[in-house]
């Protein structure tokens, strides 16, 4: 089965539309999203609707939770708090319910999907070192677990020296961010994975960054949110 993976869209409609257009040019069986549809960006409602329409499965991210149920907004970065309050006013009750009811962990099509970590996903831990990453393999059963949260693409295997997905090993795969990359590359991330061959490809695509920056300023969101999109930080 051929899958497309999206994560951390963050209400960036221009980036999401481009990502979906990129996916449409390939033969995929299903699209999955590893959370944070909303937050930071100016167009949460439209992004929620597109994700609902196109994705077979979606998990809840910390920004989805903050916007949907007003939980732990105070723990978001300052500009993230402003954006969460903005997004709350922009989505419908129906969209809010959809976000609130998303699962924290999803197992489907032979893969696991989670926003931050399979172990205690509600804690939004960051996989920023080898030891933390290795403990995660005890908390999912499939060969591949896809996630986001850090906005930094990465492939982590269950054994040192395994640098790319291949059969016979298990993997944590961070698919990066559609709407707010932070690896110094402003192009959006969209990933493709074949569940039989383990072929994995992370595609980087340019999108209309200036359009999103204009929409951020137009919405009265912090200007820093626009600046960071232009540099991918």
- C-beta neighbour count of 76 within 10 angstroms: 17
Q: Is 195 exposed, middle or buried (0-12, 13-18, 19+ CB in 10 A)?
A: middle
pTM: 0.96
What's the pLDDT score for residue 161?
86
> Rounded distance, CA 45 to CA 200, Å?
30
What's the pLDDT score for residue 217?
97
Residue 174's domain spans which residues?
2-231
Q: State the CATH number of the domain containing residue 191.
A: 3.60.21.10
Q: List, for residues 205-216, the tens digit of each pLDDT value.
A: 999 999 999 999
What's the pLDDT score for residue 128?
81
What's the pLDDT score for residue 71?
87
How many domains does the chain fold into?
A: 1
What's the pLDDT score for residue 31?
98
- Helix, strand or coil, per DSSP, at residue 144: strand
- Helix, strand or coil, per DSSP, at residue 44: helix
Give the CA diameter of the chain.
50
What's the pLDDT score for residue 163?
85
| 131: confidence class by pLDDT, cuts 50, 70, 90 | confident
Per-chain mean pLDDT for the chain = 96
What's the pLDDT score for residue 44?
98
| 142: confidence class by pLDDT, cuts 50, 70, 90 | very high
Are the beta carbons of 213 and 230 closer than 8 angstroms? yes
| Both tokens assigned to 121 | 């996903």
Q: List, for residues 146-188, the tens digit of each pLDDT value.
A: 999 999 999 999 988 888 999 999 999 999 999 999 999 999 9
């Amino acid at each position: 089965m051929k899958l497309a993976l999206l994560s951390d869209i963050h209400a960036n409609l221009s980036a999401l539309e481009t990502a979906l257009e990129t996916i449409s040019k390939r033969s995929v069986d299903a699209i999955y999203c590893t959370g944070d549809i909303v937050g930071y960006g100016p167009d949460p409602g439209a992004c929620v609707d597109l994700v609902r329409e196109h994705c077979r499965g979606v998990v809840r991210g910390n920004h989805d939770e903050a916007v949907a149920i007003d939980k732990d907004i105070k723990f978001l970065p300052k500009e993230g708090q402003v954006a969460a309050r903005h997004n709350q006013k922009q989505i419908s009750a129906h969209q809010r319910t959809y976000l609130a009811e998303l699962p924290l962990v999803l197992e489907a099509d032979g893969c696991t999907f989670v926003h931050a970590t399979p172990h205690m996903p509600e804690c939004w831990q960051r996989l920023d070192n080898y030891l933390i990453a290795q403990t995660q393999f005890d908390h999912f059963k499939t060969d591949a677990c896809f996630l986001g949260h850090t906005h930094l693409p990465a492939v982590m295997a269950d054994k040192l020296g395994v640098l790319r997905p291949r059969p016979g090993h298990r993997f944590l795969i961070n698919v990066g961010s559609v709407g707010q990359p932070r690896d110094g590359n402003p192009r959006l991330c969209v990933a493709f994975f074949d569940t039989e061959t383990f072929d994995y490809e992370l595609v980087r695509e340019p999108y209309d960054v200036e359009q999103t920056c204009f929409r951020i300023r137009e919405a009265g969101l912090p200007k820093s949110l626009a600046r960071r999109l232009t540099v991918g930080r």
